[in-house]
Amino acid sequence: MIDIKFLRENPDAVKENIKKKFQDSKLPMVDEVIELDKQSRAAKAEADDLRNQRNKISKEIGALMAQGKKEEAEAVKKKVAELAQRLAELEPMEEELQEKITKIMMVIPNIIDPSVPIGKDDTCNVEIEKFGEPVVPDFEIPYHTDIMESFNGLDLDAARRVAGNGFYYLMGDIARLHSAVIAYARDFMINRGFTYCVPPFMIRSNVVTGVMSFAEMEAMMYKIEGEDLYLIGTSEHSMIGKFIDQIIPEAQLPLTLTSYSPCFRKEKGAHGLEERGVYRIHQFEKQEMVVICKPEESKIWYDKLWQNTVDLFRSLDIPVRTLECCSGDLADLKVKSCDVEAWSPRQKKYFEVGSCSNLGDAQARRLKIRVTGEDGSKYLAHTLNNTVVAPPRMLIAFLENNLQADGSVKIPEVLQPYMGGQKLITKKQ
- Give me the chain's average pLDDT, please: 92
* Residues in the chain, overall count: 429
Residue 23: CB partners within 8 Å, gap ≥ 6? 109
Q: For 222-344, where are the E strands, in sequence order?
A: 222-223, 230-231, 247-249, 255-264, 283-293, 320-324, 336-344
- Long-range CB contacts (within 8 A, 24+) of 157-164: 163/282
Give me the mean pLDDT over the 12-27 stretch: 97
Instruction: Name the more confident of 53 and 99.
Output: 99
pLDDT of residue 52: 80
pLDDT of residue 242: 97
Each residue's pLDDT tens digit, 76-107: 666 777 777 788 888 888 889 999 999 999 99
Distance CA(2)–CA(380), nearest Å, equals: 12
Instruction: Name the more confident of 198 and 89.
Output: 198
Each residue's pLDDT tens digit, 102-121: 999 999 999 999 999 999 99
CA torsion through residues 181, 272, 128, 401, sign? positive
Complete domains list, the chain, with CATH: 4-105 (1.10.287.40), 122-425 (3.30.930.10)
pLDDT of residue 63: 64
The secondary structure of residue 269, as a DSSP letter, is S
Q: Is 173 helix (H, G, I), strand (E, B) or coil?
A: helix
Give me the mean pLDDT over the 22-37 stretch: 97
Give me the mean pLDDT over the 392-397 stretch: 92
